[in-house]
Amino acid sequence: MVKRHLMFSGTLAYAVLLAMTAAQANDSTGYVGAGGVEYLKNKNISMHSEDLYISKDEIRVNYEFKNLSNKDITETVLFPMPAVPSSMDSDYADISATYDNFKVWASGKPIIPNQHVRTFMHPIVTKDGNRHYGETPIDTTNIFKACDISDAEMMSPWTYKFDTDDINQRLVDCNNKALDKFIYDEGYFYMPWDSQIIYSWEQTFKANTTTKVKHTYKPLVGGSVHLGEEEFPNFCVDSSTQRGFHKGGGRPYHALSYILTTGANWAKPITNFKLTVKRDPNELVSFCWKGKGNVKKIGPTTFEIKESNFVPTHDFDVAFIMK
């Protein structure tokens, strides 16, 4: 048996990380199966309204779901948290605070959700004669479990309770052939992976009745010391925003992403949708919006978008840029 020794620098993982921000998500119905998380479209339940508040300190969502049928329906509701890189090079603030403070209420009553953990890896692909990580991650949870990596260990990028370098070495020593397509071997072995936590709970939607669901949590916020011009399109940084940049040339920023598209997994368009974005007084905020609603400034640091019969076809990326 050939014993590989893993030297994990995280260089490639960090390159992938810089191209994305931490994604949060809308509720969706579905189930957590052996092959990964499955999302289902429910034809009998509509999302009547969604009131979404986003800031660096809190994400708060109030939903109203309407059971359109004459029978009570019980579904498993899923809420996926962002996937966190195992590399310690990742520039996220207070990951454990995000993991620890997810709270959910249904019809005003608190719910203790179930917690699931999945791992994802990017396969090595060859393009134009060069080998690099593919854009689409693959669920590798079953591979980790086959190598005797526990759920608690798979959660270590969130909790810091286990050394991810030790986990990586155990994966390599496992000699599972399924891992070969994820390991970058150029004298060193690079094997970055992401850990995702998914919350789920059983929700009963009464016949012909509206059910209110609320959840809050501290978002996982990424960022960097400088917002480069190549990133402007990601956040629709226009000329007006650029005029507000710090005159010294530096553009430190924080960013997060919210997955809106899972909100399309219900019977009808979202009848009433409202998004509120709040920045700090010493910041600029920039984001893209592809819906029909206009962005309105409703306070010195607060912006609002309203949509009617809204079908989310895009996700929401926002940058908070220091002045």
- DSSP class of residue 301 equals T
State the residue for tokens 């997060």: 256
Distance CA 91, CA 118 (A): 21
Is the pLDDT confidence value at 226 over 90?
no
pTM score > 0.85 for this model?
Answer: no
Confidence of residue 39 (pLDDT cuts 50, 70, 90): low
Q: What is the mean pLDDT of the chain?
A: 82
Distance CA 136, CA 138 (A): 7
Vertex 133: Cα angle to 129 and 135 (nearest 5): 110
Q: What is the pLDDT of residues 131-163, one digit of tens each?
A: 777 888 999 999 999 999 999 999 998 888 899
Confidence of residue 207 (pLDDT cuts 50, 70, 90): very high
What is the model's pLDDT at position 41?
78
What is the model's pLDDT at position 209?
95
Confidence of residue 167 (pLDDT cuts 50, 70, 90): very high
Domain ranges (residues) in the chain: 11-322
Q: What is the pLDDT of residues 246-302, one digit of tens each?
A: 776 678 899 988 888 877 778 888 999 999 999 999 999 999 998 888 999 999 999
What is the model's pLDDT at position 12?
27
Q: How is 107-141 classified by DSSP, letter by letter?
A: TTEEE--EEEEEEEEPPEEEETTEEEE-SS-EE-H
CATH 2.60.40.3680 given to domain 11-322: yes
What is the model's pLDDT at position 33?
61
